[in-house]
Structure 1
Amino acid sequence: MSMNKRMDGKVVIVVGATRGIGAATSRRLAQEGAVVILGGISVERGQAFAEELNDSGGRAEFRLADLSNGDSLLDLMNGVAHDHGRIDGLFNNGADLHLLDRDGDILSTDPEIFARSLTTNLTGYFLSCRAAIPHMLKTGGGAIVQTSSLAASRGDSAMVGYCASKAGVDALTRHVAVRFGKQKIRCNAIQPGMIMVENAVAMGDALPLELILKQTAGPRLGEPEDIASAATFLLSDDAAFINGQIIRVDGGMSIPLLSNSIAQS
């Protein structure tokens, strides 16, 4: 079956492109005809991934992009706009998951860890949008998608920095949509459910995966390709009337489930 080419010729930047959700989305965008700019911090991994996508018939290139370094994001956006003449789409995807084991409750978490969570998970998205939007305005608009989390809208007794940063991503998303929607820039966010990316697979013994699945309406946990499908749709013209939305792609994980005995009573 041939892949839909709805992204044909669009220049799309993926920040956090070489693993998990970012890699799956980059692959899907390339399959649908986009020129994919792979932003990441590992030159070796990024260049190898770009070569893989190009060998498969896509168009991809790697460029340095570090969500904790605003200068690298500005250089990325300016460089892409200079070399390709436009930026049609931006997928902000990233979080410093290495902080999670030190990201506890408000009393136990070091303020430095909290600040680092905000820097990468929220300020990085802010700076990425800030660097890309002027180029989108020059060429008549564009689409931005950002990876949020169910943690942005659900309570948790831990991960205070991660939860706060992702809630900020949702607010940032709505701000960009309201501020620039009239100028044909759309901005939406995706809240993934439990997605079996590399770190989740590695932590399988520590994560209560069976309990999570039991509390999910669907028959399985998520794969990176599930988010890739949603992100590609939101970046495409098929989603031209969707703006400022926080969309849950979670297999029904966020639906409050009643037990059978209660539901049948």
Structure 2
Amino acid sequence: MKRVHGKVALITGGASGIGLSTASLLAKEGAKVVIADFNTAGAKEAAAKINEEGGEASSIFLDASKEDSIKEAVDFTVKQYGTITVLFNNVGLTNLQKDLDVVNIDLDEWDRLMNVNLKSVLLGARFAIPHMIKAGGGSIINTASMSGFTGDVIRSAYGASKAAVVNLTKYTAAQYGKDNIRCNAIAPGLILTPAAKNNLTPEVLSIFEKYNALPYHGEADDIGYTALFLASDESKFITGQTIQVEGGHYIANPTVPDFKAFSEQA
């Protein structure tokens, strides 16, 4: 079954993790895929593997902090495959050393994260939408975060940027829905991407797992399959929404696990 047959997708941050999963799944389901990433070698390798497995993919360097680079990625996609009908704005940055509480945050880091995490989403849509209108419609998917719905002791810029992505998704959907362009977002919780596995200790992972409703962590494919659904016509009446893919981590009062443990000891 080719769920996205005939569609052309540009995936930013597609060389690894969530982006790579999405690129692979879209290609398997019939889409032509462009993988755009700062990691040029990783993007080329990912595209080559997709092609070896019978899909169709290309790669291009992307610096999501640069307007010209984003436009170039969109133009390359259209030149390579004739159009663009799916855009996955997936690039995002965080910095635990500089993105601190509102008193101590590095203001240059605030500007950097707003530029990459938020402005790149705006620019991706800005450059892709005219081509989607010519194609008769399309689907824009933005990577938000559960940090956009909650507070934390650090990562003030990251959380604020992702909250803005959620609302920008609604604005884009409202403004271009009559052109048959849908725009939705995905808000992942903790996902065991290679970066997460390399940077989080087992002790930290166990803390997250304690507060999940489900007894396990999410994998990159959990987000990839959600993006595949949003790219496909199966979701043709869904727009302006943010789908939270977070294992039930945020659905309950945070005291529930502790009270459960307490009651089992009583």
Unaligned runs of 5+ in 2: none
Instruction: Confirm whether residue 25 of structure 1 aligns to residue 22 of structure 2.
Output: yes
Instruction: Confirm whether residue 35 of structure 1 aligns to residue 68 of structure 2.
Output: no
Q: Read off the aligned partner of 1:141 and give its amino acid letter.
A: G
Task: Give how far 1:45 is off.
Answer: 1.6
Q: Is the 8 A contact 1:100 1:162 kept in 2?
A: no
Partner deviation per Cα, 1:94-142 (whole Å, 9 max, x = no partner): 1123x23211001111110100010110011111111101110111110
Aligned residue in 2 for 1:229: 225
Q: Please point out which of 84, 87, 93 is paired with 2:81.
A: 84
Task: Give how far 1:78 is off.
Answer: 1.9
Q: Read off the aligned partner of 2:83 and give its amino acid letter.
A: R
Aligned residue in 2 for 1:53: 50
Q: Is the 8 A contact 1:104 1:159 kept in 2?
A: yes
Partner deviation per Cα, 1:67-102 (whole Å, 9 max, x = no partner): 1011011112123223322111010101123x2321
Task: Give how far 1:261 is off.
Answer: 7.7
**How high is the sequence identity, in percent, across the aligned residues?**
37
Q: Is the 8 A contact 1:149 1:190 kept in 2?
A: yes
Number of equivalences: 260
The 3 A distance-change label for structure 1 pair 262 and 174 is farther
State the distance in 2 between where 1:83 and 1:209 align: 41
State the distance in 1 between where 2:79 and 2:96 align: 37
Partner deviation per Cα, 1:141-162 (whole Å, 9 max, x = no partner): 1001111000001011210110
SS in 2 for 1:37: strand
Aligned residue in 1 for 2:260: 260
Q: Please point out which of 226, 231, 238 is paired with 1:242.
A: 238
Task: Give how far 1:197 is off.
Answer: 0.8
The 3 A distance-change label for structure 1 pair 238 and 82 is same
Aligned residue in 1 for 2:184: 188
State the distance in 2 between where 1:207 and 1:170 align: 31
State the distance in 1 between where 2:239 and 2:263 align: 35
CA RMSD of aligned residues (A): 1.7
Q: Is the 8 A contact 2:32 2:81 kept in 1?
A: no
SS in 1 for 2:101: coil
Instruction: Confirm whether residue 94 of structure 1 aligns to residue 99 of structure 2.
Output: no
Aligned residue in 2 for 1:106: 102
Q: Please point out which of 147, 151, 157 is paired with 1:151.
A: 147
Partner deviation per Cα, 1:160-183 (whole Å, 9 max, x = no partner): 110111011111100100000111
State the distance in 2 between where 1:151 and 1:207 align: 21
Deviates more, 1:254-263 or 1:150-159: 254-263
Q: TM-score, normalised by structure 1?
A: 0.94
Deviates more, 1:161-170 or 1:195-204: 195-204
Q: Is the 8 A contact 1:125 1:169 kept in 2?
A: yes
Instruction: Confirm whether residue 212 of structure 1 aligns to residue 199 of structure 2.
Output: no
The 3 A distance-change label for structure 1 pair 124 and 108 is same
Segments ≥4 residues shifted beyond 6 Å: 261-264
Aligned residue in 1 for 2:59: 62
State the distance in 2 between where 1:56 and 1:210 align: 36
The 3 A distance-change label for structure 1 pair 140 and 23 is same
Q: TM-score, normalised by structure 2?
A: 0.93
SS in 2 for 1:101: coil
Q: Please point out which of 65, 71, 74 is paired with 1:74.
A: 71
SS in 1 for 2:111: helix
Task: Give how far 1:60 is off.
Answer: 0.4
